[in-house]
Structure formats: structure tokens, C-alpha cells
Amino acid sequence: MNDIRTTELPTDETRTNEIRRVAVVGAGKMGAGIAEVFARAGLDTVVCEKDRAALRAARGRIDRSLHRAVDRGRIDPAERESSWAHLLFADDPAALADRQLVVEAVVEDEHAKTEVLTTLDKVLVDDGAILATNTSSIPVTRLGIATGRASHVLGLHFFNPAPVMPLVELVSSLHTDRTALRRVEAFARDALGKHVIHSRDRAGFVVNALLVPYLLSAIRMAEAGHATPEDIDAGMVHGCAHPMGPLALADLIGLDTVEAIARSLYDEYKEPLYAPPPLLSRMVEAGLLGRKSGHGFHPHRTS
């Protein structure tokens, strides 16, 4: 594992269309997964968090995930070590000055994301540097106009767990430059090996606009006592061949994240099917967030 990096500004010769210097800001479950994807692709990757304690937690998440990847035969031990060689950690955004692409992956809160993006906008020295948000529901246009480089802000939405799930959603705002969009599409497809789909800048994009109403419907069914969480999930797994039931999936995503996406969808569309059920809101208030807290609709072991 490597120490805090020192900033080295790029020369004109190093500024090419190929994205090699990347960073992730916010290294919770999603951010750590994205950083792992970058490192496993052989990219010079900086992980930035708010303080040393958060960085230690990020290292632990990445380390556990890389060991699981070895145990499950997805990578070999040499690839695990190679991935660590491409990771650097920093608690100062100034360390990201030379990055070509920075992915914001902090909590699904507009104020928090805007604060990070405006800070990064002041730090990056390359006029062609791209700011990507991993938001799952907040309009990218709204986030981009908070910076001075709205043309180089876009949505790059990974799915959990990022090292395993093959999909990314690429979202352009009303301001996003076409060249920047094509550049990130090629990067995600060719460097990361991801399947890229495009979405207009609407709350929920493609996947969550379809998925979240399904999850909310299952929560309403449990709330009404129509069936137990176990039977609801078993019905979709064994009756519809889904790999995971909707309530187990909500626990995996995080009930706080599901609620945040639902609120964003409802704010955008004003349709009742997007409104968070009272049970969901009460569980979030109670800290029953799913896997991340150890209990949601089902009990979980925390790692």
C-alpha cells in the first residue's frame, strides 16, 4: 500500500486523449469499488477522502474486495499486487491537480456533491480534465452548473459491486461537450471493459427509473402485511428467476440510497409510484439501512 502522493503537474507532452491519470473522491462502498476497477485496469489512481481515518477504511474495503476476487478466481495474486501498485491515497484535494478524470462518489446528496465538484473545479489544472459524478438520481445539469467547467461535467454511473457489474450509465447534461462524452465512453468501454449505455439527464436515468418503482412496490407490499419480506423475495427469485429478491436488493443498495433516489424521482416526475413509502422513511430514520448497517429488511453481517 502506498503513502500520500505529492502533486506533479502534467507537461504538454503528457496531455493526450488517452485517460491514464484518474481519481475517485469518496471511498465508501461504491467509491472504493470504482477505485478498484481503475487500479485493476492499470490506471494511475488516486483515492481521496476527507481524513486519514476515512482513508484507512477505504484501504480496508479495497483490500477485502481484492482478496475476495482472488478467492473467487476472478484475478490471481499477482494481479492483486499489481492493483495495489496503481493505488495512491490522499486526504487533500490538491493532490488531484494533475488528474485527467475525477469521479465524485460521495453520499447521494446534492449539497455534498456540489461542494466536492466546486472544490475539484478549483484544483484541476488541465482545462480538458473531466469531472464525472457517480450520482444515481441527481440531474447532472444541476451539478455541472455549480462549476466553471459545465461542458466537462458528466454522469458516469457505476453499479454495485463496481468490480463485478459490467454496466455503466453515461449521462450528458445540457452543457456537456460531445468530445468529452465520446472520450469517456471510449475510456469506460476500452480501458475498463464496461458495457456503456447512454441516458438523457433525467432523474433515475435508465436503470433506476425502472428499478426503484419495483423496489418501492415490494416495500409497500411488506408494509401492508400482504406477505413477509422472506416470501416476497422468494417469490421473485423462484417465480421470476431473479438472482435476488427486491427487498434483499434494497438492502444491498442501502435503504438510505433507495429513499434518496425515490425522492429525486418523485421531485422530477410527481408520480405516486416514485414516492418513498412511510416504512422506508422510518427505517432510514431508525438507522436500519440494510447491509451497511447490519440490518434492513433482512439481518446481515457487517464487514
Kindly report, residue by residue over 250-297, the tens digit of the pLDDT. Answer: 999 999 999 999 999 999 999 999 999 999 999 999 999 999 999 999
- What mean pLDDT, rounded, does the chain reach? 92
**Residue of 83, 199, 208, 264 marked active site:** 208
How many residues does this entry show for the chain?
A: 303
State CA 46 to chain mean position distance.
16
- Catalytic residue at 208? yes
pLDDT of residue 2 exceeding 60, the answer is no
Q: What are the two backbone dihedrals, phi and then psi, of residue 180, each rounded to the nearest 5 degrees?
A: -60, -40
Residue 5 pLDDT more than 80?
Answer: no
CA distance 199 to 103: 18
Q: What is the mean pLDDT of residues 146-150?
A: 94
Residue 298 known to be catalytic: no
Q: For 12-199, CATH number?
A: 3.40.50.720
Looking at residue 302, what is its pLDDT?
Answer: 63
The rounded distance, in Å, linking the Cα atoms of 150 and 234 is 45
* Short-list 30, 98, 83, CA closest to 58: 30
Task: Kindly name the residue from 104, 169, 185, 259 that is annotated as catalytic.
Answer: 169
Q: How confident is the model at residue 303 (pLDDT cuts 50, 70, 90)?
A: low
Side by side, the strands of the sheet bearing 44-48 are 87-90, 44-48, 21-25, 101-104, 130-133, 153-158, 167-172, 195-199
Going from N- to C-terminal start, the domains of the chain cover 12-199, 208-285
Q: Given this model, what pLDDT does residue 11 score?
A: 38
- Reply yes or no on whether 104 is catalytic: no
pTM over 0.85: yes
pLDDT band at 229 (very low <50, low <70, confident <90, very high): very high
Q: Which among 86, 157, 185, 199 is annotated as catalytic?
A: 157
Catalytic, out of 136, 172, 264, 293: 136
- pLDDT per position as a tens digit, 71-129: 999 999 999 999 999 999 999 999 999 999 999 999 989 999 999 999 999 999 888 99
User: Has residue 13 got a pLDDT over 70?
Assistant: no
CATH T-level assignment (fold) for domain 208-285: N-(1-d-carboxylethyl)-l-norvaline Dehydrogenase; domain 2 (1.10.1040)
